[in-house]
Amino acid sequence: MGPTLAVYSKYESDASGPYQLLVGRELNGAPSNVAELQTQTVPPGEYLMFSCPGPVPQAVIAGWRTVWSFFEQPNAPARAFTADFEVYSDSAPVEIWVAVRKTAVF
pLDDT digits (tens, 9 = 90+) for 16-57: 999 999 999 877 766 666 667 788 889 999 999 999 999 999
Give 38: exposed, middle or buried? Use CB within 10 Å, 0-12, 13-18, 19+.
exposed
In the chain, pLDDT over 90 holds for what percent of residues?
74
Query: In this structure, what DSSP letter does residue 91 have?
Result: S
pLDDT over 80 at 8, yes or no: yes
**pLDDT-based confidence at residue 104 (cuts at 50, 70, 90):** low
Any domain includes 42: yes
pTM above 0.75, yes or no: yes
Number of domains in the chain: 1
For residue 57, the domain's CATH number is 3.20.80.10
Instruction: Look at residue 85 and tell me if it is in a domain.
Output: yes
Domain membership of residue 105 (yes or no) is no
Structure letter (DSSP) for residue 16: T
Q: Note down the domain range covering 94.
A: 4-28+37-100
- Mean pLDDT of the 59-81 span: 96
C-alpha distances in Å from residue 18, one per residue of 13, 28, 58: 7, 29, 23
Residue 67, in any domain of the structure: yes
- Is residue 84 included in any domain, yes or no? yes
Does residue 106 form part of some domain?
no
Domain assignment present for 41: yes
d(CA 106, CA 101): 16
